[in-house]
């Protein structure tokens, strides 16, 4: 661990920093549930009649996105491994008048991913939008030669194989759809990458490798299926206040009520999961029909240039 100071980890700002910080405390960043509020549900909202599939919506960005789509009238089907949390999130959306179901699935497991995707189609007849989001960061913030093969493979299996399997089983269903929207898209896929998919941070070689792979996979799939009406893009968040990020700092002794350190971005604050949900919905909307195979930088400046004080 030696080579990385707490200050360096905090200065990273991104989700990588969460993992780095947690690892420095010798603890794995467990994403605990923080209550996200359910926006008012408009059954006739801009995604009324659409079916949205989300991987990893038991907390964080995925949960906020599930709530946001449901608020806009979509039917949401999501997975995650923590069953109690999954049921709670789905129930609270339903209690607010929205449509959501949770199906347990581990994205590292091909059979479970297939069952999850098919489960959505069996229940709702189709998938219009998929947000592939389930991800983890390596628990030990150490230089590459000190990373364990087990951690490396687990990160890659979750963040790369998980996205591969998700798209593998989503795409055939999307191809069966009737074209919808201004330019006749049959479906939209948004993959959650990261600032770490563009640049490196010390201590997170497994995570950064995986997120670079997500962006490459997104580009290839976008070219392969764009001509058939499926728009595939990715987003790259910088630092987002999710349970994973907060827990990482709490592991270092920060009290739950203390504000998290600001990330090195131009607004001097972390983004909210809801802000990421807005970007996902923008990419899923017909307003950006010509966006294909691109990665949207939502780091508020972390990738724009060197930010110095
Ligand atoms: N927070 C940031 O600053 C930031 C920045 C850039 C990118 N991102 C990306 O955003 C995505 C969401 O992360 P988050 O920050 O919202 O953290 P989070 O709150 O920990 O959410 C991660 C989600 O992924 C799910 N997940 C993890 N492993 C899984 C598996 N094997 N099978 C199924 N689901 C799994 C978790 O559910 P279970 O634990 O219930 O399985 C949880 O719902 C990740 O891909 C992350 O890399 C985050």
Reported as a single tens digit per residue, the pLDDT across 13-22 is: 344 444 443 3
pLDDT of residue 181: 77
Mean pLDDT, residues 298-306: 92
The residue from 102, 124, 163, 207 that is catalytic is 207
What separation in Å is there between the alpha carbon of 60 and the centre of ligand 1? Answer: 7
What separation in Å is there between the alpha carbon of 5 and the centre of ligand 1? Answer: 25
For atom 44 of ligand 1, which residue has the closest CA?
135
- Residue 221 within a domain: yes
What separation in Å is there between the alpha carbon of 227 and the centre of ligand 1? Answer: 30
Element (H, E) at 75: strand 75-78
Beta sheet of 187-192, edge-to-edge order: 99-102, 75-78, 51-55, 129-132, 187-192, 230-237, 295-298
Question: Hey, which residues does 187 pair with through a beta bridge?
Answer: 230
For atom 47 of ligand 1, which residue has the closest CA?
135
CA angle 254, 259, 260 (to 5 degrees): 70
Q: 137 with 16: CB under 8 angstroms?
A: yes
Pair of tokens at residue 309: 């004080």
- Residue 98 within a domain: no
For atom 7 of ligand 1, which residue has the closest CA?
194
Question: Hey, which residues does 191 pair with through a beta bridge?
Answer: 132, 234
What separation in Å is there between the alpha carbon of 57 and the centre of ligand 1? Answer: 8
Q: How far is CA 116 from CA 77, 109, 110, 154, 251, in A?
A: 9, 11, 10, 20, 33
CATH number at residue 273: 3.40.50.720
For atom 4 of ligand 1, which residue has the closest CA?
15
Pinpoint the alpha helices (H) of the chain.
6-12, 15-24, 60-71, 83-95, 110-124, 149-156, 162-175, 205-226, 243-250, 273-284
- Residue 162 within a domain: yes
- Residue 100 within a domain: no
Its pTM stands at 0.91
pLDDT of residue 34: 55
- Residue 303 within a domain: no
Active site residue 225: no
- Provide the domain limits for residue 128: 6-28+39-51+106-298
- Residue 308 within a domain: no
- Considering only 45-49, 91-95, 130-134, 258-262, which range has the smallest mean pLDDT? 258-262
Which residues are near ligand 1 (CB < 6 Å)?
14-15, 31, 55-62, 79-82, 106-108, 133-136, 158, 192, 194, 237, 239-240, 242-245
- Residue 242 within a domain: yes
The total number of structural domains in the chain stands at 1
- Residue 90 within a domain: no
Q: What is the mean pLDDT of the chain?
A: 88
Atom of ligand 1 nearest to the CA of 239: 3
Model confidence at 10: pLDDT above 70:
no
Mind listing the pLDDT tens digit for each residue in 269-299?
Answer: 999 999 999 999 999 998 898 899 999 999 9
């Amino acid at each position: 661990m030696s080579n990385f100071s707490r200050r360096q980890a905090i200065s990273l700002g991104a989700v990588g920093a969460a993992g780095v910080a947690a690892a420095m405390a010798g603890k794995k960043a467990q994403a605990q549930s923080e209550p996200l509020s359910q926006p008012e549900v408009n059954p006739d909202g801009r995604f009324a009649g659409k079916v949205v599939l989300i991987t990893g919506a038991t907390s964080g960005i995925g949960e906020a996105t599930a709530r946001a789509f449901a608020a806009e009238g979509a039917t949401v089907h999501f997975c995650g491994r923590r069953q109690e949390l999954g049921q709670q999130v789905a129930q609270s959306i339903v209690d607010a008048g929205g449509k959501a179901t949770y199906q347990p699935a581990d994205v590292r497991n091909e059979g479970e991913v297939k069952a999850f995707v098919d489960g959505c189609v069996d229940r709702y007849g189709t998938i219009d939008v998929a947000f592939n989001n389930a991800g983890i960061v390596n628990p030990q913030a150490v230089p590459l030669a000190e990373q364990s093969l087990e951690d490396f493979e687990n990160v890659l299996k979750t963040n790369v194989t998980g996205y591969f399997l998700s798209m593998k089983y989503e795409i055939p269903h999307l191809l069966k759809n009737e074209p919808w929207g201004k330019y006749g898209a049959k479906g939209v896929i948004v993959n959650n990458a990261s600032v770490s998919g563009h640049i490196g941070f010390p201590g997170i070689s497994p995570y950064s490798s995986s997120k670079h792979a997500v962006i490459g996979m997104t580009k290839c799939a976008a070219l392969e299926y764009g001509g058939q009406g499926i728009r595939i893009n990715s987003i790259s968040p910088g630092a987002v206040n999710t349970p994973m990020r907060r827990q990482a700092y709490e592991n270092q002794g920060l009290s739950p009520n203390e504000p998290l350190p600001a990330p090195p971005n131009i607004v001097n604050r972390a983004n909210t999961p809801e802000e990421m949900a807005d970007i996902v919905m923008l990419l899923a909307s017909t307003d950006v029909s010509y966006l294909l195979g691109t990665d949207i930088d939502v780091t508020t400046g972390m990738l724009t240039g060197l930010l110095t004080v």
